[in-house]
Amino acid sequence: MASITIRNLDEETKQTLREYAAKNGRSMEEQVRLILGDVKKLSLLEPAQIFNPIATSPIHQQSEEKGAPPVNLKGKLILLVIGGGIAAYKCLDLIRRLRERGALVRPVMTNAAHEFVTPLSVSAIANDKVFSELFDRDDEHDIGHIRLSREADLIVVAPTTADLMAKMAQGHANDLASTVLMATDKPVLIAPAMNPKMWSHPATQRNIKLLHSDGIHFIGPNAGEMAESGEAGLGRMAEPLEIVSAIENLLLPKKIPQPLAGKRAIVTSGPTHEPIDPVRYIANRSSGKQGHAIAEALGQAGAEVILVSGPVDIPDPENCETINIQTAREMQQAVETALPADIAVMVAAVADWRTVNASDEKMKKENGKGPASLQLTENPDILKTLGHHKQRPQLLIGFAAETEALEEHAKAKLKSKNADWIIANDVSPEGGVMGGDKNTVKRLSKSGIEDWPKMDKSEVAQKLVNEIIKHFTVETLEI
Ligand code: CTP
């Protein structure tokens, strides 16, 4: 393997190398290593292929990224804490890669880091000043360690030495780097780099566990040869581009698949309240948890969701348009106004009856006359109305709340309400479904009955939405 000692080069060569390395955002050692690698590969080429071995050789270009990188980190401020390890030289390349992607990089160096890379080169490549001292009057006046840690979108610690990890795990704050890490409310990504024996030491392994449980994100270390001759194993800092992609994973919004994008869904949820007088009403124990969870899961899958909700004590899902109503008739009106829709899931426990004439004034006890009798009339059946509507949603799903003969009643509802599926649940008080967090349901359709295991209501919602996605995927394939 070719090797070279930089300090043995003549001054002019050293200066040329220094300028060339700085231009490429590399340390001198890294640049030499690349050149030596190129020379090795050049020996395999025809002379005609060799023009300028440093700048234009096909080999040199192969070692670069293909094409210009996306400017996807534009406006993101990354606080880069550079620890004192031999891998600190890679930070120059890391900074360059981040800046190419539009990120602003603000460097903080530990005292030990100064031994491996100069603040001058870090500052030149970052195009920002280097912060190092906790008690530097100018720095503290200028920006202050709290602002340093809070203004950033992300803190990256590269390289993270065993000592820095120990400090972070124990909550030390005795220099600028550790103080910034303690004071931050932003995500922290560390790129550990150390000798393999130090990495596998029980103390470091304990600290790794602590840092994981504190929510610290890790990239690397990689396995490979160490700077120390003859040492190899887990401990090499991740390569700059690996660190960049970990940063992108943390900072860029995840592309969640939206299989129901373009579909419109109506969901009803919660109970209805049917007034008796201004202070009394007929209601039931529905909490709205199941209906709201379904609305939210449909929204997450990309559907446009109109949630028509009776009075509940849970928050409106953020990804739905929620229409709050009190009575069954208001619910029906809101549902019909929301048509047309591709999907309707009627989860609400709609009161079957309402009083014929709700009193405008609070009803009074009349001595000796016994309790007032309520004259009731049937509420409209919203699911049934939709089942026979000229704008019937393509996929119409109802629920069946039963306390006995579950399948039999659910089958009858599937038919009479002209639904595509009925999700049947046993709401006997001993099951704790009404108001509880768990649900055990069966899915009935014209093609049969499926038993679903006991799950959280959010899991039932997700499973139902998966079935809805499948339904539409199969339909699309058939067309
Ligand atoms: N439903 C409705 N409008 C009503 C009553 C029920 O839209 N007035 C819907 C519910 O949202 C549910 C399905 O119909 O999707 C079945 O509701 P459930 O309360 O189980 O049955 P009911 O139809 O009310 O019949 P019963 O009370 O006799 O069991």
Q: Which CATH number fits domain 264-353+377-478: 3.40.50.10300, 3.40.50.10860, 3.40.50.1980, 3.40.50.620?
A: 3.40.50.10300
| 300 Cα to the center of ligand 1, angstroms | 27
Residue with CA closest to ligand 1 atom 4: 381
CA of 459 to the centre of ligand 1 (A): 23
The rounded Å distance from CA 361 to ligand 1 centre is: 30
User: Which pLDDT tens digit goes with each residue over 414-447?
Assistant: 999 999 999 999 888 777 788 788 899 999 999 9
Q: How high is the pLDDT of residue 237?
A: 95
Atom number in ligand 1 closest to CA 380:
8
Q: Which of 413, 388, 379 is nearest to 310 (CA)?
A: 379
Question: pLDDT-based confidence at 223, cuts 50/70/90?
Answer: confident
Higher-confidence position of 314 and 225:
314
pLDDT above 50 for 127: yes
Q: Which long-range contacts (CB under 8 A, 24 or more apart) does 329-337 make?
A: 329/354, 329/379, 329/380, 330/272, 331/268, 331/272, 331/382, 332/380, 332/382, 332/385, 334/306, 334/308, 335/266, 335/268, 335/308, 335/382, 335/386, 336/385, 336/389
- Pocket-testing residue among 268, 290, 352, 404, ligand 1, by greatest number of atoms within 8 A of Cβ: 352
**Fold identical between 67-251 and 264-353+377-478?**
yes
Nearest-atom number in ligand 1 for the CA of 399 is 15
For the ranges 105-109, 145-149, 361-365, the maximum mean pLDDT occurs at 105-109
| Confidence (pLDDT) at 381 | 98
CATH of domain 67-251: 3.40.50.1950
| Pocket lining for ligand 1, CB < 6 angstroms | 268, 328, 346, 348-350, 352, 379, 381-383, 398-401, 413
Domain boundaries, the chain: 1-64, 67-251, 264-353+377-478
In the reported structure, the alpha carbon of residue 378 is separated from the centroid of ligand 1 by a whole-number distance in angstroms of 12
Q: Give the whole-angstrom CA distance, residue 118 versus residue 107.
A: 12
344 forms bridges with which residues in the sheet? 266, 396
Residue-averaged pLDDT of the chain? 87
Using the structure block, give the residue that is written with the tokens 């909550």.
Answer: 171
Q: What are phi and psi of 135, to 5 degrees?
A: -105, 25
284 is a catalytic site residue: yes
Q: How far is the CA of 356 from the centre of ligand 1 (A)?
A: 20
Mutate to test the pocket of ligand 1, among 267, 268, 343, 381 (most ligand atoms within 8 A of CB): 381
On whether the CB atoms of residues 279 and 362 are closer than 8 A, the answer is: yes
Catalytic annotation, pick one of 24, 195, 222, 284: 284
C-alpha radius of gyration, the chain, whole number: 33
Residue 387 has pLDDT above 60, yes or no: yes
Q: What CA–CA distance (Å, rounded) separates 111 from 286?
A: 62
pLDDT digits (tens, 9 = 90+) for 162-205: 999 999 999 999 999 999 999 999 999 999 999 999 999 999 99
Ligand 1 atom closest to the CA of 400, numbered from 1: 20
Residue nearest ligand 1's atom 3 by CA: 381
- Give the mean model confidence (pLDDT) for residues 363-383: 89
